[in-house]
Chains A and B, each alone.
Chain A
Amino acid sequence: KQEVTQIPAALSVPEGENLVLNCSFTDSAIYNLQWFRQDPGKGLTSLLLIQSSQREQTSGRLNASLDKSSGRSTLYIAASQPGDSATYLCAVLGDSGYALNFGKGTSLLVTP
């Protein structure tokens, strides 16, 4: 069974800092990996999707990398802003081809 772990569980940084969120998964047989953002009481907003054949994806201040063989992904956020405060979830699409396996998330607080 695919297990997805996110470290750290919570993170507080001052505005302007660059930061890295980590995600690890136990089964390297994946189709893709997605990073989501979840604001309190809201649904999930997809940030980046990396196909298994890709190494990284970038969108604005966000960069996600994937090392499938070692079962790791990182989400890099440059020049953090208070508006980045949210929970960030990592999810892998395993060999079922449809069921996403999620980590518990990293709760990020960016202070002004």
Chain B
Amino acid sequence: GAGVSQTPSNKVTEKGKYVELRCDPISGHTALYWYRQSLGQGPEFLIYFQGTGAADDSGLPNDRFFAVRPEGSVSTLKIQRTERGDSAVYLCASSFSGAAYEQYFGPGTRLTVT
């Protein structure tokens, strides 16, 4: 079946602009996660959704970052007033609910802020 998809695959934007990154999880997966991977680093947790609600957004770096999942499926990560330090690969993952379930990752969106 279809895996996790993310769009766009690449996004180049100017400092100060607003961007939206989209994640389409595997059908039937109620849990959805966003991670950020900077160059040479492992991914870092940003936010976790259980259904429509953000169960834990403690990994979001500041209030310029926000994520939604209004219908419990597709999620959008929104970044306001982008900064060069936001440049990274943003990864989305989904899973069935419960700690024992494997997280399946999408291909990521490479964001470059110039």
Give A residues with C-beta under 8 Å from B: 4, 31-32, 34, 36, 41-46, 49, 51, 89, 91, 93, 96-105
Q: Mark the stretch among B41-49, B65-73, B77-85 that contacts chain A.
A: B41-49
What's the Cα separation between A109 and B54 when bound, in Å? Answer: 39
B102, A99: Cβ atoms closer than 8 Å = no
Main secondary structure of the interface of A (DSSP, over half): strand
A93, B99: Cβ atoms closer than 8 Å = yes
Contact of A98 among B55, B91, B102 (CB under 8 A): B55
Category for how many chain B residues contact A? 20 to 34
Contact of A100 among B56, B100, B103, B107 (CB under 8 A): B103
Give B residues with C-beta under 8 Å from A: 31, 33, 35, 40-45, 48, 55-56, 59, 91, 98-100, 102-108, 110
A98, B56: Cβ atoms closer than 8 Å = yes
Contact of B42 among A4, A42, A45 (CB under 8 A): A4
Contacts of B45 in A (CB 8 A): 99-101
B107, A98: Cβ atoms closer than 8 Å = no
